[in-house]
């Protein structure tokens, strides 16, 4: 099980950067929550913990302590930039090598592939979230909140979805996460048995029993709808 710690930057009494009617803490929570939901709903072999799930004030030390205590395999800290520039960039701690550099390359490329932001490149920085985490860590800066063009994009729900999907695609590539199997349902007809259905759909009899809450004394009947894959 791959343990991914997602840190939506700022929150609570710390709004982060503010501009063009937007607050960094709101955007990072939107993006971070969407990343979590996509990962847990669409992929197997991944567990996600977030540093905050609402508008809470959480110190930097509390964030890295939580990730370290949980034993995360990867820390992702999501931010929005400010300062008059434009575009997307990400950071790892100076001097670290693989696999952190590989994860940065995968996520950077995946985000740029989906998001219409100027590519500011892959960078390093002595940020707390990167320095104090015991696992590979990446901090992303998703556009400039004080740039009118970037801010207009950040106001689009479709654009936020693409940012989240870009992060997810990079994480999936980095950790070889498998897609969840699409559930298949079957309406029982005369002659069907759990054994015959397992052979038809390639599932085990135990899986079909578990998916449909069938105990050892189960019976199935014509017209019953069963999950079979």
165-222 pLDDT, tens per residue? 999 999 999 999 998 877 788 999 988 988 899 988 888 988 888 888 888 788 888 8
Question: pLDDT, tens digit, for every residue of 34-65?
Answer: 999 999 988 989 999 999 999 999 999 999 99
pLDDT of residue 20: 95
Q: Decide: 4 and 46 in contact? Cβ < 8 Å.
A: yes
* CA gap 29, 200 in Å, rounded: 44
pLDDT of residue 78: 98
pLDDT of residue 66: 98
Higher pLDDT, 74 or 157: 74
For domain 2-175, which architecture applies?
Answer: 3-Layer(aba) Sandwich (3.40)
Helix, strand, coil percentages (3-state) for the chain, rounded to 5, are: 40, 25, 40
Question: Is pLDDT of 10 > 80?
Answer: yes
Domain ranges for the chain: 2-175, 185-227
SS3 67: helix
Question: Is pLDDT of 162 > 90?
Answer: yes
> What b/e sequence results for 143-158 when a residue is b if at least 16 CB atoms lie within 10 Å of its CB, and e otherwise?
bbbbbeebbebbeeee
Residue 68's pLDDT band, with cuts at 50, 70 and 90, is very high
Dihedral, CA of residue 61, residue 62, residue 68 and residue 70, to nearest 10 = 180
Domain 185-227 CATH assignment equals 3.10.20.30:
no
pLDDT of residue 175: 97
Active-site positions read 141
Whether the model clears a pTM of 0.85, i.e. scores above it, the answer is: no
Dihedral, CA of residue 110, residue 116, residue 122 and residue 126, to nearest 10 = -110
pLDDT of residue 211: 83
């Amino acid at each position: 099980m791959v343990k991914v710690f997602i840190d939506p930057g700022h929150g609570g009494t710390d709004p982060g950067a503010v501009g063009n009617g937007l607050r960094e803490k709101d955007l990072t929570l939107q993006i971070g929550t969407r990343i979590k939901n996509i990962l847990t709903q669409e992929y197997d072999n991944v567990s996600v913990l977030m540093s905050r799930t609402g508008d809470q004030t959480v110190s930097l030390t509390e964030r890295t302590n939580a990730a370290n205590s949980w034993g995360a395999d990867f820390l992702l800290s999501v931010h929005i930039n400010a300062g008059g520039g434009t575009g997307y960039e990400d950071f790892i701690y100076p001097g670290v090598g693989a696999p952190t550099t590989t994860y940065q390359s995968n996520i950077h490329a995946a985000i740029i592939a989906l998001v219409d932001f100027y590519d500011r490149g892959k960078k390093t920085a002595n940020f707390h979230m990167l320095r104090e985490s015991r696992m590979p860590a990446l901090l992303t800066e998703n556009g400039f909140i004080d740039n009118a063009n970037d801010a207009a994009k950040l106001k689009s729900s479709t654009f936020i979805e693409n940012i989240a999907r870009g992060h997810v695609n990079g994480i999936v590539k980095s950790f070889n996460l498998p897609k969840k199997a699409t559930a298949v349902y079957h309406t029982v007809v005369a002659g069907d048995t759990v054994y015959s259905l397992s052979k038809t759909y390639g599932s085990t009899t135990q899986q079909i029993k578990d998916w449909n809450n069938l105990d050892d004394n189960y019976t199935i009947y014509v017209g019953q709808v069963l999950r079979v894959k």
